[in-house]
Amino acid sequence: MEEVWKFLNTVFIRPSKFLHELVQPIVKAKVVQERDWKALKANLELLQNTFEQAMEAVMLEIVLHVNTVRQIYEKWPYSERILWLEKTAGVSPMDEPGKFRRYVEEWYPVVLALAAQRQIHYGDGGVWEKKAMGAAAWGGQPRPCRMVSRGCKKNHPLEDCELFKNLSSEAKLAKLQEWSRCLFCLSTG
């Protein structure tokens, strides 16, 4: 009972102190490195717990202020920041906090799966991660094959396409350059 009153006093009598204590773990969180799915999972869990506590205290709008959102996603790896910024390209600053919360909730299960698979298949060269991220982007289904113009009717990553594998080296090189794909890992960018 003492803890309950302490919580209520902090929230309702000193809301600024409660808000400061609630946001502090997010602000002090370490920067997550690229492909460190475990750390990103922990970061997203922290965010979800913070959102829940803020909602219970009727302070979610204050926690999800545009400046706080910026402090949060600046802790993410560069690729994750770019993904978030692409999602909010046309979003107004007023709508950004709500969209950010939905984005965290939608992205968390994907990161959870990636973190779990990375633990099981550590050292796989990122092949599973690439496939899982591609599938997540297409609603759980693999992307349509890029060789559809050559008659491939399957949904699978390029590295699994038999038609692509059977092309000559020159034809493969031409296709990869046409699609702006990496010559080593076959991914874009």
- Output 74 or 169, whichever has higher pLDDT: 74
Is the Cα dihedral 171, 173, 176, 180 positive or negative? negative
Residue count (the chain): 189
For residue range 83-141, list pLDDT tens digits in order: 888 888 888 878 888 889 888 988 888 888 887 776 554 444 444 455 555 555 444 45
Residue-by-residue DSSP string for 138-179: TTTSPPBPGGGGGT---B--GGG-HHHHTS-HHHHHHHHHHT
Tokens of 159: 């590295």
* Amino acid 69: pLDDT: 84
* Amino acid 119: pLDDT: 58
pLDDT at residue 40 tops 70 = yes
Tokens of 183: 């010559």
One-letter amino acid at 137 equals: A
pLDDT at residue 14 tops 80 = no
Tokens of 72: 């949060």
Poorest-pLDDT segment among 17-21, 54-58, 117-121: 117-121
Q: Which residues pair with 144 in a beta bridge?
A: 155
Domain residue limits, the chain? 2-120, 142-189
For residue range 21-30, list pLDDT tens digits in order: 788 888 888 8
pLDDT at residue 37 tops 50 = yes
Q: How far is 39 from 60, CA to CA, in rounded Å?
A: 24
Coil, helix or strand at residue 188: strand
112, 39 Cβ separation under 8 angstroms: no
Which DSSP letter does residue 181 get? B
pLDDT at residue 9 tops 70 = no
Poorest-pLDDT segment among 7-16, 43-52, 103-112: 7-16
Coil, helix or strand at residue 118: helix
Q: What is the average per-residue pLDDT within 144-171? A: 76
* Amino acid 125: pLDDT: 46
Whose structure tokens read 């919580």? 7
